[in-house]
A and B are shown apart, each in its own frame.
Chain A
Amino acid sequence: MSAPRPRFLDSGEAALVVEFGRIVDPVLNERVLALDAALREAAPVGLCECVPTYRSLMIHYDPLRIDRDALVAAVEAALERGQTEARAASVWTLPCCYDPGFGEDLDEAAARLGLSSQALARAHAQGDYRVYMYGFAPGFAYLGGLPEALAVPRRAAPRPPHPAGAILIGGGLCAVGTFPMPTGWYVVGRTPERFYAPERPEPFPIQPGDGLSFEAVDADAFRSLERRAAGGEVVARRRGT
């Protein structure tokens, strides 16, 4: 079965958008990530960097080193190769504290959803998530897989900055907010894991395409994990590949 050819869109003369579709969908995202992996493996001269999103790959390039036609040809060759290779994804268990004081907006979001705070936290921890992409801010990860019962709309106006490691829900999605930022989403918990830790050999352990589930921890466990994370340890557990 051959997938439909993506659309090639110009974002100026130095970026090409390879658009696989226009919706949030794991199959589209998988194709984006397969192309990303194939281009990383054999990057054409003049390719600067690629930005995978839910549904498209933005390729930044230097048009004085590779012209657009040659880049499109390289992408098409990579698409051929990408279809035969499975990208190795990890699955992570991410500790999350839903206690009052950590899930700052848990009560508010629960009220909007007509649930108890405990029921929201329980349902959230049972979800099966996928890291679709990063964007918005450093280490801000967009996760799909939020249970439908938790699809609270985003706020009309942003709330003050969330804490680092905030677990957010809004607009039918879940996210991990690594840098404190004002947000229109609801803070339902907090993880001690650092999605961005510049002093670690791998500053970003969790990659787009990885699977993720949450494990509820109490405040004491959170603080002890937070100390270990501050020391440079990756406290999310990786399950198989």
Chain B
Amino acid sequence: MTEESTALRVLSAGPGTTLQDGGRHGYLRYGITAAGPMDRLAHATANLSLGCPAQATAIEVSLGGIALTAEGAALTVAVAGGAFAVSLDGQELGPDVALTLEPGAVLGIRAGAGGSWCYLAVAGDLDVAPVLGSTATHIRSGMGGLEGRGLRAGDRIRVLARHLPLAPSRIDAPWLERAPDTIRVLPGPQADAFDPDQIDAFLAADWTISNRSDRMASYLDGPRLRHAAGHDIVSDGIVMGAIQVPGDGRPVVLMADRQPTGGYPKIATVIGPDLGRFAQGRPGTRLRFRAVTREEAVAARRDEAACLRGRPSLEPLVRTRFTSEFLLGLNLVDGICGPDDGL
């Protein structure tokens, strides 16, 4: 079953593609950023579709894409999030798929119709040493993942693989179809650093995600916001989704790799369930913010948790799209995967 020598080999990887588990929690008080996935719903969906724990280590693929192969033995993988284009040995499979990668077969993932991040999960355990209990990569401090850096061509990640042969299948996860057009926020924690007309302006404006966007923060283009009395506050804590307004009046949404504390007023905070949706917005995406109550935010969180309660179902892909040579190379018999398989 488990092969000592089974591994994922990276053939090519764009910048900013990293290993991420659910995040390095519990050390913010020592200045250590949690990191973790930009889109936690997509990350968890990829893992759960293979029967892995929701927070297991997976590869977060950036717009630069990645190509990989299996070494030693077959590996079953799932790709979810961001409508990325997935291909097996050059055959397009579409987004959100699970399949078994035979040794030597090449899995390609590149930016597709939309979205900024997708997740590649593996049936089994990626053999990556945790730092402070987590494998999440934080490139700025060189912590976690592979030597604290992004993946690159030649990297080999040993896998303690789980036997789960699977013909190419679509992951049924309708919750991943989310347009990043309206992002829900809770006002504060420093809403009182702005006059009411500035809060109104913030909520009324059309914002555009700028090119200055990465795992740490997304800058927004739009009107400049004015502070009521200065832009410096004595540093306090920063959550993922905090919308900070520095001296130039241009809001910045702080994301997974943010610093744990900071000294600019935060006009509002993106609610947890909308963080992944926001993260999937590419530079140039236009959006608005809508203020909601805490009750609405918690209800949205409950809905999000409900999506991940079971294992997403897998539906074999329509086979007429493939050539007969391609189909002959696949094991189609084992492809039907019930909800309890491999758990």
Question: A residues near B, CB below 8 A?
Answer: 9-15, 17, 19, 22-24, 36, 48-56, 58, 60, 63-64, 67-68, 133-142, 178-179, 181, 196, 198, 203-204, 208
Contacts and interface: CB of A to CB of B under 8 A. Distances in A.
Interface in B184-204: 186, 188-190
A64 B305 contact: yes
Interface in B138-161: 140-143
Given A12-B186, A12-B241, A204-B30, A135 B234 contact: no
B301 A136 contact: no
Nearest to A208: B29
Nearest to B242: A11
Contact of A137 (B141, B239, B242, B298): B141
Nearest to A203: B132
A13 B29 contact: no
Contact of B189 (A9, A67, A208): A9
Contacts of A67: 298
Contact of A63 (B31, B189, B301): B301
Nearest to B233: A22
Interface residues of B, number: 43
Contacts of A133: 235, 261
A11 B233 CA distance: 15
B133 to A, nearest CB: 10
A12 B25 contact: no
Nearest to A206: B30
Contacts of B142: 179
Contacts of A134: 29-31, 260-261
A23 to B, nearest CB: 6
A139 B235 CA distance: 16
Contact of B235 (A17, A54, A137, A179): A54
Contacts of A203: 30, 132
Interface stretch (B76-84, B91-99, B107-115, B266-274): B266-274
A196 B24 CA distance: 15
B31 to A, nearest CB: 4
A58 B189 CA distance: 11
Given A13-B186, A13-B272, A56 B236 contact: yes
Given A10-B189, A139-B31, A63 B298 contact: yes
Contacts of A51: 28-29, 237, 260-261
Contacts of B305: 64
Nearest to A204: B30
Contact of B234 (A13, A22, A49, A139): A22
Contact of B31 (A36, A58, A68, A137): A137
A64 B234 contact: no
16 contacts: A10-B269, A12-B271, A19-B189, A36-B29, A49-B28, A53-B237, A55-B236, A58-B28, A63-B297, A64-B301, A133-B235, A133-B261, A136-B259, A139-B31, A139-B32, A203-B30
B237 A11 contact: yes
B302 interface: yes
Contacts of A17: 189, 236-237
A56 B262 CA distance: 12
Interface in B245-275: 259-262, 266, 269-272
Contact of B237 (A58, A138, A142, A208): A58
A10 B187 CA distance: 8
B26 interface: yes
Given A139-B30, A208-B29, A64 B236 contact: no
Given A55-B236, A64-B302, A134-B31, 7 more contacts: A13-B271, A15-B269, A50-B29, A134-B261, A135-B260, A135-B261, A136-B31
B253 to A, nearest CB: 12
B29 A49 contact: yes
Nearest to A195: B30
B239 A60 contact: yes
Contacts of B266: 11
B131 interface: yes
B294 interface: yes
A143 to B, nearest CB: 13
A138 B188 contact: no
A11 B266 CA distance: 9
Contact of A135 (B31, B131, B140): B31
A201 to B, nearest CB: 13
Nearest to A22: B234
Closest 6 CB pairs of A and B: A58-B237, A135-B261, A13-B297, A12-B269, A9-B189, A134-B31
A9 B189 CA distance: 5
Nearest to A9: B189
B294 A24 contact: no
A78 B241 CA distance: 28
B269 A11 contact: yes
Given A11-B266, A13-B272, A14-B272, A49 B237 contact: no
Interface in B285-304: 294, 297-298, 301-302
A13 B259 CA distance: 20
A64 B298 contact: yes
A8 to B, nearest CB: 10
